Chain A
Amino acid sequence: MSRTNLSRSRTDFLDGFKQAAPIVPAIAVFGMLFGATAVNSGLTAFEALLASATIHAGASQFVFLELFGFKAPVWSILLAVFAVNFRHLLYSASLSRHMSAFVGPIKYIAFFWLSDPQFGASEQRAERQGLSIAFYFGFASFGYPCWLTGSLIGTLFGALINDPRALGLDMLLAIYFVTLLMGFRSRPNWLPVVLASGVASAILFKYLGPPWHISLGAGVGIVLAAFLGKPVKKEEADA
């Protein structure tokens, strides 16, 4: 690798690392909540960490704890976690179009870290200057260890965070997602897609409940986008 490539990679890695910084407190606290809840649900600290390390998807891990608490059959836990994580299918379908730099097995290794924030940040990067391996793993190498460390601390001192609400940590991710969402506003049909999915998710959240408001709510906007096609190219053709 030439010297310029190496320094380019270093810059990209640091960019990814820095991009993860603002959400790291929320990730760590979410991890702590999981660790504490897991131990209270009867898991050992090792099992709690194994879950955070292998599943690495917060919401679905709480679903697992809930169902494990009911002594639910194994198949129903597998199905519930699949349902909660279904949205990731959309992430890899969309992001893989921007992963031409990820050759061979690297792409399949990278998918392991494709969480909600990882997807949002990577799409944004792809839009602005192209997505490199270094940026992707720079982002992952900050968030993932913090998630594991948070989980570990949670198993040890679960009762320490007595009021995460007062610190606004439950809203931090929502506001972070607002900043990512607004970053995509120059994409074709952004406003109709956002309105359709936004309204649909509110209705689905109220009447069907999580997790379907994510996959189905997003689905409404995505189908609308397919229906509207590509107006940019059409205008070019008309002109």
Chain B
Amino acid sequence: MLEFLLSPTQRSDVWLVIILLGVVTYFTRSGGHIILARFKSIHPRVEAALEAVPAAVLVTLVVPPALTNGPFEFFAVAISIIASLRFPPLLVLSIGLAVVIAARQAGF
């Protein structure tokens, strides 16, 4: 087993590596719950921290693509943020995507 882990990935072992990667990924998906379930009560600060997880993660998935793709992609994200204050998600998605497609069709 140790030799398997330390040696370069062999063509014939790929299927086994893929299954192990599936197990590792499942562990990351259930692990937060398993760790949290060990505690009987949740401290208010931990509660506040967990309450912040969705916004804290989602913004990190938005910022790099907004900043690294070009001015129109940045504009599309900015417009989407403002539009989200008034309009339902599907309309916001259409507006943002329309900006990106229009800019790229125009050759930017």
Contacts and interface: CB of A to CB of B under 8 A. Distances in A.
Interface in B68-108: 68-69, 73, 76-77, 80-81, 84-85, 89-90, 92-93, 96-97, 100-101, 104-105
Interface residues of A, number: 98
A160 interface: no
Contacts of A182: 81, 84-85
Q: How many residues of B sit at the interface, in one of the four size bands?
A: 35 or more
Contact of B56 (A67, A112, A119, A225): A225
Interface stretch (A7-15, A128-136, A184-192): A184-192
Contacts, number: 289
Interface in A164-198: 165-168, 170-185, 187-190, 193-194, 196-198
B60 A230 contact: no
Contacts of B49: 222-223, 225-226
A227 B49 CA distance: 8
Given A73-B5, A93-B35, A229-B44, A47 B80 contact: no
Interface of B: 4-9, 11, 13-15, 17-22, 24-37, 42, 44-69, 73, 76-77, 80-81, 84-85, 89-90, 92-93, 96-97, 100-101, 104-105
A180 B50 contact: no
9 contacts: A51-B18, A88-B29, A88-B32, A91-B53, A92-B31, A108-B30, A111-B30, A119-B57, A221-B55
Contact of B67 (A55, A73, A202): A202
Most buried by A among B4, B6, B60: B60
Interface string A82-119: 10011111111111110100000001100110101001
Given A85-B24, A179-B93, A202-B67, A190 B55 contact: yes
A228 interface: yes
Contact of B68 (A67, A120, A205, A222): A205
